[in-house]
Structure formats: C-alpha cells, structure tokens
C-alpha cells in the first residue's frame, strides 16, 4: 500500500511540474511559416518522493473509515484494551489500603485521617491496621465512618479521597505517610 502512495505522490509531483511549466503561446498559421530560433528553456530538476520520506523510512499507510471515524488499528487497540481490562483484578478483590495524608481531631468524634485509597474498597466497620512509616510498628483499629466529598458514606472505592474516623486511636498514634490496611478475616 505504501508503494501505491509513493506512486501517487510521484504522479502528483509530475503533474505539478507540467502545470507549472510555461505553455507556448498559440501561433497563427502565418506565423508558423517563419522559423524562429529556439529559445533555451531552463531545465527544472526532477522532483521525487524520496526526500519527502527520507526521515521516515518505515511510514505505513493504513485503511481508515472516514464515516465512522475508526480505522483497523483503532479497533484492534480498543479490543486489546478490553481484553486487558478483563485481566485486571476488580476493586473489591484486593484488601483496602490507604496512605495517610493528614491527621486531625474532630471534636466530639475522634481522630480522622485523610488520604486517597490506594487499593480495595474501604467500608465502615472494617478492622484495620496502622503501620507507622518511621518505625514500622503497628496499631489495630476499626474504621467507624467514612466521609467522601463532604458526605458520610458506607464504602468508598480505590482512587477516592476520603476521611476515615478511627476508633481507639489518639492523635499522636497516627502520622502522615503511615499506611492503613484492612485486616483480612
């Protein structure tokens, strides 16, 4: 198919050269009888498609559908993405894990930690383990509540920015960069 495209370009360049060349003026029959000295026309260098493709030796031209806006490679890429998505684990398959971004005390409630859920689904009532980033010590706790976008929710999937209300934890027990993970039952 690339060869066809190159031939098309060569024909286009040849046609452009022919159309740009000066056409001889029309001569009446009386003027034809008197010979005129031939005027030397400057020769234009022959253009080819090779310099155009020189920096891109592996150019491929593919068939595309202009009406639907898809080409064969796009369909193949979408199919591969769908196949790959089927292999990925579902968000609920992995245990909940979150890195702590901020820690604060909510008056009347207790210690709240905020962060983005890295994997799994955080659920209210889940037993969790806090692993300190500095010394790798652990503390067991329970997630009493989850706040997402200013609303209390029962669960939040991976990628959500949430605030977790923790049970049996003081403000000094949790720090930024600590990891909270679900304890498998």
The per-residue pLDDT for range 49-62, each reduced to its tens digit, is 455 545 555 555 55
Q: Where are the domains of the chain?
A: 1-12+47-88, 97-182
Spatial separation of the C-alpha atoms in residues 132 and 103, rounded to whole Å: 13
Give the pLDDT score at 16. 45
* pLDDT given at position 15: 47
Query: What is the C-alpha separation between 164 and 141, in angstroms, rounded?
Result: 11
pLDDT (0 to 100) of residue 142: 96
Average pLDDT, the chain: 77
CATH match of 97-182 with 1.20.120.530:
no
Mean pLDDT on 9-29 = 54
- pTM for this one? 0.53
Q: Over 60: is that where the pLDDT of 107 sits? A: yes
CB contact at 8 A, 97 and 108: no
| Contact yes or no for 32/25 (Cβ under 8 A) | no
- Assess whether pLDDT exceeds 90 at residue 151: yes
């Amino acid at each position: 198919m690339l060869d066809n495209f190159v031939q098309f370009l060569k024909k286009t360049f040849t046609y452009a050269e022919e159309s740009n060349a000066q056409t001889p003026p029309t001569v009446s029959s009386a003027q034809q009888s008197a010979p005129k000295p031939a005027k030397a026309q400057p020769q234009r260098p022959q253009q080819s498609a090779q310099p155009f493709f020189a920096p891109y030796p592996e150019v491929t031209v593919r068939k595309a559908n202009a009406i639907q806006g898809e080409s064969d490679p796009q369909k193949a890429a979408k199919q591969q993405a769908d196949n790959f998505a089927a292999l990925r684990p579902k968000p609920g398959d992995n245990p909940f894990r979150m890195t702590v971004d901020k820690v604060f005390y909510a008056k009347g409630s207790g210690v709240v930690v905020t962060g983005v859920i890295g994997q799994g689904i955080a659920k209210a009532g889940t037993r969790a383990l806090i692993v300190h980033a500095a010394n790798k010590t652990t503390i067991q706790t329970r997630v009493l509540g989850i706040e997402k976008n200013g609303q209390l929710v029962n669960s939040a999937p991976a990628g959500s920015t949430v605030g977790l209300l923790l049970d049996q934890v003081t403000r000094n027990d949790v720090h930024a960069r600590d990891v909270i993970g679900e304890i498998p039952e």
